Structure 1
Amino acid sequence: MRSSSRPLASVAALFFMTGMAALIYEVLWLKELGLLFGNTSQAMATTLTAFFLGLAAGSYYWGRKAAAYREPLKLYAGLEVAVAVCAAGYFILLEAYGRIYPWVFDCCGNHAGLFTGVKFALSLTVLFPPAFFMGGTLPVLSHFAAPNRDDLGRNTALLYGVNTLGAVAGALLAGFYLPVWLGFRASYGLAMAISLTVAAGAYVLSKPQTERSRAPVETGSIVFRPLAVIAFMSGLSMLALQVLWGRMFAQVLQNSVYTFALILSVFLICLALSGFLARWLMAVRFDAGKLLFGSLIAGGLLVNIGPFVFLAWTDELHYIGSDVGWYAYLLQIAAPAAVIMGPPLLLLGMALPLSIRLAQNHGPSGGALVGQLVGINTLGAIAGSIIAGFLILEWMGLWAGIRLIAVLYFLTAAYWFSRTTEITSNYRQPGLSDSQKLFRSDWWSQRGGLYLPAIGILLAVSAFDTGKLPLVKVDPVNEEESLLEFWESSAGTVAVIRRGEHLKIKVNNHYTLGGTGSFKLEQLTGSLPVALHRKPRSVYILGLGTGITAGGVLEHPIQSLTVTELLNDVVAASDKYFGAYTNGLFYDPRVRVLHEDGRNYLRGAREKFDVMIGDLFVPWEAGTGSLYSLEHFRTVAERLNENGLFMQWLPAYQLSQVEFDVIARTFLEVFPYATVWRADFGALRPVLGLLGSKSNQDFAALSAERHQKLLLHFAGDLVSIRSRFEQARLNTDDRPIIEFSAPVSQRSIKTGRQEWLVGADLIELMEALQPSVSDYMIDVPKPSKQWPQAGFNLQKAQWLRYQGRLKEAEQAMANYRKLLGEEEQ
């Protein structure tokens, strides 16, 4: 290493930490603003756009400023301090926005475009300042690292790769460990501490630099403009690919916070390696122009065949790792991600470093040049994420979208080739003789190179046409399944599937929202909570699913029903295929079905309800853990009328004892009165309900004969067994225990290390609740007083029969019939 570049290794280490802090910030910002604005794709897109705009503006501005500093490391230190200071202000702004958000929702909530604009403005206020200073770090360090302009491309590629590796570390820390170890707020403080540590290190390393070699005389924009186009198209295509590949893997994964973090980390690792590869190829004096052309062609081809490799690897969209433990599961995710994303990213990720290399002796100073190209690249990234999320997935679909991005790479290569005639007449590589021009072969100087992009496009629409690949998995032979219809959007893939005589809705292939096969159960989850209220007038349900649950509510003489559903296509599927099972839900004047994030709606709306129902949520799905949080339960309590009831249904067959204890303790922290209900009596897929209220519960509403049988579903008083949950942790927005523990529990249960809350464990819980039942039976008509105990015996009998303990099962059934009375035999 030359003496002038000896500090580069130390600075690279600091820049690694910068990348790590940046990803921690980004993950935490997206999480917090998702909770405030809602976890809709539109809200996430506005947040990312605000962040990227800050990065782009900062890159351009600070790149131009860098040339005026003889001590660029001091400027770098100042930028890191500014990031930490702006990040600290985020706490104040977030608290303020939390207070005014109900007013904003009230004013703008009914106007989707205006509401999105307000969210964007708020995101911009929170995220733009720190992102503006973050964006300046690479251009400033590039100015420091290349006092000789001939080193600009090579050393910038090194910094790019190291910073991206730091981002990998940040993504893994924020995605796997920090929220559970420290909580979000302390993790945010850690990121600020890292920024300040980097600032201190940069200040210590700083010293005046010798006068830099002067930039050559400008040759005009003939070189820079096509490279700016390359930078823009690289950012656009790369972020679009990240969105599309993320959706592709969502079809076969657990889709927890961990799997998203892992896919992102593999993506970033490949980008980092592409930076190192570009640096090495520059060092061995590869022809940068031809290398750029070849990488675009080869990378585009690999992108186009990726879906075929994916389908072969997953055996036509089978769930990955259905029977393996946690670490084996992570490896089974990482392997196809690396194989499918790795090769194209290694090639395509070189586009930005190679563009900087090709432009390094043209245009403005080194820092300004890097700042402009990186800023343009970031603007392309904004366009790519929006185009992929809101245009491609909505209009074209996943597979056609990936083909489109491959074609864009071929077209970009053709554009670059078409500009080389002008460039070769003006550009010579440093160190080469005058006769050794950038593109030296006769073949290149002619138009033969345009055949390669044309061949790539032809292959994309013929031999490698992804447009007809399957997106929804059905098993017509073993499961008698057939696909009726599916929808693709930025929010997910929604499908209606017929299985035998029944219909069901699936999201992203493996997340079932319910179906007609469980009609009675789903209807009961809507009807039972309303039946328990003395005089239910207004009802709210979080989650539509098939609409059968909401239809169960309409069996009662209520005045209004409000249902929120995150996925608009689920609303369309329910309306079109499940109308016969929903009691006229979509045509009842008392009903409002809103396409909204339910938690966000409740936080912003001012109306109150007599009965509120939380539908079943898969606990390990990213984002659903917040629906079991302390803050959400408090919002629900605020939206309950006096004597109001809130029923949170829980899939016991998807919860371990640990997760149930956490939810129960969190629930009791908000609702002083809480009882437990069973939606069914099955042995393998039991559903439990936690009924919370702010005042004492009574079952006088069940005195009507048609409702008395619902007492079979009463399990007991949750408060009476509070001591069982004292050691459990609270599930909060700051410490999202459920979101991080449930995915690991799922994999542990697959290998037999843990058990779901079913069978013997569930029966033991029901037995613990039994002594409290009698306290609620005082005002219940005498014939029904023993029905809760009868329900317990029925549930116990089902489990014993499943175990093959038939004699004990028959005894439990005899007890069940006896407790019901002779008239029920």
Structure 2
Amino acid sequence: MFFKGSFIIMQFNSNFRKIYLVFIYFFVFISGSAGLIYEVVWQKYLSRLLGSDSTGSAIILAVFLGGLSCGYYIFGKLSTKIKNTFRFYAFLELGIGAWGIIFPRLFSAIFSATYTWSFSPPVLIVIQGLVCTIILIGIPTILMGGTIPILVRGISRTLDESTKIHAFLYGINTAGAFIGTLAAGFLLIPVIGLPLTVMTSAMMNIMIALFFYFTSHFAPKIALLPDYDKEVVLKNQEQKDVREISKLRYSPSFLYAIAFLSGFYVMALENVIMRLVGLSIGSSSYSFTMVVSSFIFSIAAGSLIVGKMKNIPRSLLFFNQICITFFLILIYLTLDSWPYLAHVLRVSFQSNDAGFIAYWVSTFLVLLLTLFIPAGLMGATVPIAFHEIKRDFTLIGKYSGYLFSFNTIGNLIGSLAGGIILYNFMDIPEIFSLTILMASISSILAGSSLSKKHLAWSGILTAFSIFLLLKTPAYDKSHFVKGTFRIREAQASSFNGPRNFFKNHLLNMKVLYYDDGSDSTVSVISFIKLQKILDFPSLSIMVNGKSDSSTTGDVYTIKLLAHIPALLAQNRGKVMIIGLCTGVTAGEISLYPDVKRIDVAEISNSVIKALPIFSKANHNIHKDKRLHIHFGDAFRIIGRSKERWDIIISEPSNPWVTGVDALFTIEFYDLVKEHLASNGILMQWIHRYESRPEVVGMVINTLRNEFNNLYVFIANEGDLLILASNYSISKEDLKKASKNFENFQKVRDSLSILGISSFDSILVRQLWTSGYADYYFRDYGLQTMDNPRLHYMAGKQFFMGSYIADDFFLSADSAFYVDEYLMTLLNPSWATSPITSTDLEMFLRSFNKELGGDFHPITESLKFKKILSDFEEFSNFSETWQKKISPEIFKIITNLGSEKGEKGGGEGNNLGSEREGSAKEKNNLGSGEEGSGEEVWKKAGLWDLPLRKKVEVMEKYIAKTRNWIIPYPLDGLKSLLTDCIKKESNAQENNWCRIKYAHLLSWTPGGIEEAKKSLKSLIINSKGDAILNEQDKILLKSVIFRIERLELVEKERKRK
């Protein structure tokens, strides 16, 4: 009975230990998730200090990995002296969590304290950057490094079991990191922002700390509960002879070297894979997240598999390294097909929300399928090495810490070398080949401890790896020049294999320059067919497979980016340009004789090296002594500079590209304001293609929160140019600009290529004013460093290939702000006068279709404006055009005739049959023929329609044709509604007319007070409520909302 009772107690204890281990592994998983979330968040925070270029990223990564390595080493050594490892572990997690809570405030304090620091490359950026980064993340990363060694020592009961425990802890912690990567990239940062994300991680650490602290008084007893399996007891006894076991093991120095090499080639390979995937599917945070998560998942799986192995043969480490080398060679042979495979994957999904999710899930699975075996084998390396190095049970925490320390040092050096340094000497395929060589050298170290046969096999693979490194065969760089990620529909050659696909994809294209730099892969391509359009060649600069600028397709954008601010600025002595690209914008600025200095911030050295290739298009700007190019991140360069510029031109890449969204934040615009001279101006580029109103609206709203005045122009059908200032451009400024345009011959000659021959031809491209922006974009949210939503929104719209409709840019509501437009300010008669044939020809010539400078809403409006001077000209246009701009409806809206006939009324009334009198307001634009009678109504198709339908048709017509270019009067429609108000006896219908009249007045400058009077006069019932049907109640709310918002905007503008 005694033995039976003892067995039951022992069995209970054993089961209890297993349950406790489940909790431990769960919290280790959570700890891994928190760790990766911290890494992502800290990277984004610290990029504000150091920039998002390769130097800043290298410093951040060096401190992060260096801290982990120190933690592994320090706490691995301490693990032999700690009595209660679980309580100690609780304090580690508590320390990490506490640091996470204070981190946002600590960062703000450091940012303020170092505000006068320059962070200038190449020396100060390293010294000052290391100081700041070590202060900010040094302590928590050291604490993170202590978690695994402490737990390995705390949980393991025997020397043999420690292999399983070590592998499981490493694998589960890494699996948690996999989830943390996905959570940070797809959920936490986009939804709740950086401060709350770091706070979430901190709460996870504190939760872990509480669990281990409150269970620490009995945890060691549970962890060390004996297992009464006889075989295990015998093994425990055998382990006493440490010397005998050690004879069968690898040399510790070889194992540390393998751990180091493994760390090196894992991180170098991960960096190269990121670049290759970015070139294949686009360099967004989504692609970064996919690569990191697939690597981490595979590494976790490899470690867990080792933990499940009952017997680990001595040769396993050798075969592990041999297989890694072999599979990397297989992957290498497929690299230049990745853009094609990415294309096939992309066109397999529709461009919608469901397709977006399915595409990224499929991308992850494809990457996992590609990387699972080699990365999984990499994940098994350290656990296998730990199994081989362990000798003394009391020192297992030390062994674990030392191995991880060497492995993390390898991570650090591999990341720096494979992500930055080696790009000064090698291209992507060569760096990939180097990782293969490192794996093969690791196999030599493992094989040398086994036999000559093993050593021979590893030697053969090493020789082949050296051949790959020297020759880099089977890699066609041209496949990565022009990305396939913007092709969303299947092409004729999509499923005919890589050879046929690239033959079509690269047709009529010549590669003039290619460079794999540390920050990006840059190439310059020439499009042969387009060379004859301009005097200079048609060239495009491609950054990571995406065209960042073209001397033809983008010529309107890159020229007007310079000329609009240069002409309108009160001073232009010093100019800063963010983004070099082709150098055309800088070249256009150089045409102004009073420009004394041109600074350019460019993050890619590869782009800088390509500048001379564009010399014919950019006026040889690389030879201009006024040009000063600053290599690095613009956020850091501007923020740490002591200069003040008269003009800052920001033309970065698209905000869906990793790191670029920081240049659209409130914090960045605040820096810009601080570094603008008195009455300085900012010119900001943003794209319309692959976008939605939410993206453009957020950029506009963020700018309007920092600048009092915005002037938004359209460069071509895809690009918007936003001029921002804290002073209003006056009529005198415009006259001066017009005079400068006439006087600067080089400027006129350059713009004449675009067909722009007058200053008015630039002003007519204006889309929105400050008032318009204040009204329409105030609810679109703000882009901040703490809540960087723009990047994720833009990334999703990039996938979908979204395109914003024309009526978003030139709407009927713009007519309300006609007096604010620069054209009206310079030419007061613009709103009321038609344009001449000569002016029309001049304007249309400035919208050169061949060069992509056309924008149909403006050109059509200009044609309409010309036609309004003579109704007879309607007959000269096509039937489709006449239908769109029906002269009859126009006549009725602008100046309703006196003879409408009995059938003109609506809904049981004859309101359309009479007119009380012609409108008093007359102007030259659209005054038309008087006496638009029954014939006109019939031609317009309105004769037999009820009143509500008549008004609906007219409102649709107004929405389609009226804007600031043709702000024609609405006298006829006003008369129709006032007739209704005076004569309609049905209270409900009368009220509808009053609301519609108020709505119409809200579209008219100066009509707000009269609109409010119309609403106040609504007929009410005995309860004091306006007599309306449900639909009209909704209409009333929308009109009230518009009026209240207009008044609010007006008050805010007066305060400014």
What TM-score does the superposition give when structure 2 sets the normalisation length? Answer: 0.69
The residue correspondences of 1:416-455 to structure 2 (distance < 5 A) are 416-420=446-450, 444=451, 447-455=452-460
Q: 2:328 aligns with which of 298, 303, 308?
A: 303
**Pairwise CA distance, 1:100:** 3.6
- The higher radius of gyration belongs to 2
Amino acid across the alignment from 2:477: L
The residue correspondences of 1:15-30 to structure 2 (distance < 5 A) are 15-30=28-43
Cα displacement string for residues 736-772 of structure 1 (whole angstroms, at most 9, x for unaligned residues): 111111111223x34xxxx4224343333xx433432
Give the structure 1 partner of residue 715 of structure 2. Answer: 679
Change (3 A) 1:760 1:773: closer
Alpha-carbon distance in 2 for matches of 1:496, 1:637: 34
Is residue 518 of structure 2 the alignment partner of residue 490 of structure 1?
yes
Cα displacement string for residues 457-506 of structure 1 (whole angstroms, at most 9, x for unaligned residues): 34445699744502333656563011112011211110011111221110
Q: Once superposed, what is the RMSD of the aligned Cα atoms?
A: 3.0
Is residue 606 of structure 2 the alignment partner of residue 569 of structure 1?
yes
Cα displacement string for residues 246-299 of structure 1 (whole angstroms, at most 9, x for unaligned residues): 111111113221221122111111011001111122x2x131x21111111011
Q: 1:581 aligns with which of 613, 617, 621?
A: 617
The residue correspondences of 1:204-219 to structure 2 (distance < 5 A) are 204-206=214-216, 207=218, 209=220, 217=242
Q: 1:257 aligns with which of 264, 282, 285?
A: 285
Change (3 A) 1:451 1:806: farther
Give the structure 1 partner of residue 489 of structure 2. Answer: none
Give the structure 2 partner of residue 700 of structure 1. Answer: 735
Alpha-carbon distance in 2 for matches of 1:128, 1:641: 39
Q: 1:756 aligns with which of 799, 803, 815?
A: 803
Alpha-carbon distance in 1 for matches of 2:153, 2:134: 28
Give the structure 2 partner of residue 515 of structure 1. Answer: 551
3-state SS, counterpart of residue 675 of structure 1 = strand
3-state SS, counterpart of residue 391 of structure 2 = coil
**Pairwise CA distance, 1:539:** 1.2
Q: 2:770 aligns with which of 696, 718, 727?
A: 718
Amino acid across the alignment from 1:277: I
Alpha-carbon distance in 2 for matches of 1:171, 1:215: 43
User: Is contact 2:548–2:653 with CA below 8 Å preserved after alignment?
Assistant: no
Q: 1:472 aligns with which of 478, 499, 503?
A: 478
Alpha-carbon distance in 2 for matches of 1:169, 1:518: 41
Give the structure 2 partner of residue 412 of structure 1. Answer: 442
Amino acid across the alignment from 1:756: Y
**Pairwise CA distance, 1:117:** 2.4
**Pairwise CA distance, 1:784:** 7.5
Moved more, 560-569 or 58-67: 58-67
Give the structure 2 partner of residue 368 of structure 1. Answer: 398
Give the structure 1 partner of residue 346 of structure 2. Answer: 321
Alpha-carbon distance in 2 for matches of 1:33, 1:799: 49
The residue correspondences of 1:4-403 to structure 2 (distance < 5 A) are 6-105=19-118, 109=120, 111-206=121-216, 207=218, 209=220, 217=242, 223-281=251-309, 283=310, 285-287=311-313, 289-315=314-340, 318=343, 321=346, 324=350, 325-362=355-392, 365-403=395-433
Cα displacement string for residues 499-550 of structure 1 (whole angstroms, at most 9, x for unaligned residues): 1122111011234333344334322221221111133211111111110111
User: Is contact 1:476–1:482 with CA below 8 Å preserved after alignment?
Assistant: no
User: Is contact 1:216–1:362 with CA below 8 Å preserved after alignment?
Assistant: no
User: Is contact 2:556–2:715 with CA below 8 Å preserved after alignment?
Assistant: no
User: Is contact 1:798–1:809 with CA below 8 Å preserved after alignment?
Assistant: no
Alpha-carbon distance in 2 for matches of 1:316, 1:8: 43
3-state SS, counterpart of residue 60 of structure 2 = helix
3-state SS, counterpart of residue 654 of structure 2 = coil
Amino acid across the alignment from 1:665: N
User: Is contact 1:63–1:140 with CA below 8 Å preserved after alignment?
Assistant: yes
Percent of aligned pairs with the same amino acid: 22
Alpha-carbon distance in 2 for matches of 1:38, 1:413: 39
**Pairwise CA distance, 1:162:** 0.6
**Pairwise CA distance, 1:397:** 1.3
Change (3 A) 1:103 1:463: closer
Moved more, 256-265 or 5-14: 5-14
Q: 1:773 aligns with which of 818, 824, 848?
A: 818
User: Is contact 2:336–2:477 with CA below 8 Å preserved after alignment?
Assistant: no
Change (3 A) 1:703 1:222: closer
**Pairwise CA distance, 1:51:** 0.9
Moved more, 304-313 or 482-491: 304-313
User: Is contact 1:297–1:409 with CA below 8 Å preserved after alignment?
Assistant: yes
Change (3 A) 1:164 1:820: closer
Give the structure 2 partner of residue 435 of structure 1. Answer: none
**Pairwise CA distance, 1:600:** 1.4
**Pairwise CA distance, 1:810:** 10
Alpha-carbon distance in 2 for matches of 1:799, 1:39: 43
Alpha-carbon distance in 2 for matches of 1:598, 1:222: 51
Give the structure 2 partner of residue 429 of structure 1. Answer: none
Amino acid across the alignment from 1:26: E
Is residue 799 of structure 2 the alignment partner of residue 736 of structure 1?
no
**Pairwise CA distance, 1:396:** 1.8
Alpha-carbon distance in 1 for matches of 2:399, 2:965: 83
Amino acid across the alignment from 1:279: G
Give the structure 1 partner of residue 1012 of structure 2. Answer: none
User: Is contact 2:571–2:680 with CA below 8 Å preserved after alignment?
Assistant: no
User: Is contact 2:522–2:607 with CA below 8 Å preserved after alignment?
Assistant: yes
**Pairwise CA distance, 1:662:** 1.2
Alpha-carbon distance in 2 for matches of 1:694, 1:571: 32
Amino acid across the alignment from 2:651: D
Give the structure 1 partner of residue 916 of structure 2. Answer: none
Is residue 624 of structure 2 the alignment partner of residue 550 of structure 1?
no
Change (3 A) 1:712 1:82: same
Change (3 A) 1:75 1:331: same
Change (3 A) 1:161 1:809: farther
**Pairwise CA distance, 1:86:** 2.8
Alpha-carbon distance in 1 for matches of 2:339, 2:651: 31
User: Is contact 1:67–1:367 with CA below 8 Å preserved after alignment?
Assistant: yes
Amino acid across the alignment from 1:72: T
Q: 2:629 aligns with which of 590, 593, 598?
A: 593
The residue correspondences of 1:653-668 to structure 2 (distance < 5 A) are 653-668=689-704
Change (3 A) 1:363 1:406: farther
Alpha-carbon distance in 1 for matches of 2:577, 2:375: 44
Where in structure 2 are there 5+ consecutive unaligned residues? 1-10, 227-235, 482-501, 532-537, 743-758, 848-853, 864-877, 887-924, 927-960, 967-1056
* Aligned pairs, number: 773
What TM-score does the superposition give when structure 1 sets the normalisation length? Answer: 0.88
Cα displacement string for residues 664-697 of structure 1 (whole angstroms, at most 9, x for unaligned residues): 11111111111211223xxxx3311121111222
**Pairwise CA distance, 1:709:** 3.2
Change (3 A) 1:703 1:340: same
Cα displacement string for residues 76-124 of structure 1 (whole angstroms, at most 9, x for unaligned residues): 101001112233443343223322434211xx52x41232222122211
**Pairwise CA distance, 1:797:** 6.2
Is residue 683 of structure 2 the alignment partner of residue 647 of structure 1?
yes
Change (3 A) 1:780 1:209: closer
3-state SS, counterpart of residue 661 of structure 2 = helix
**Pairwise CA distance, 1:820:** 11
Q: 2:562 aligns with which of 517, 526, 537?
A: 526
User: Is contact 1:668–1:719 with CA below 8 Å preserved after alignment?
Assistant: no
Q: 2:461 aligns with which of 456, 459, 462?
A: 456
**Pairwise CA distance, 1:57:** 0.9
Amino acid across the alignment from 1:228: Y
Change (3 A) 1:666 1:413: same
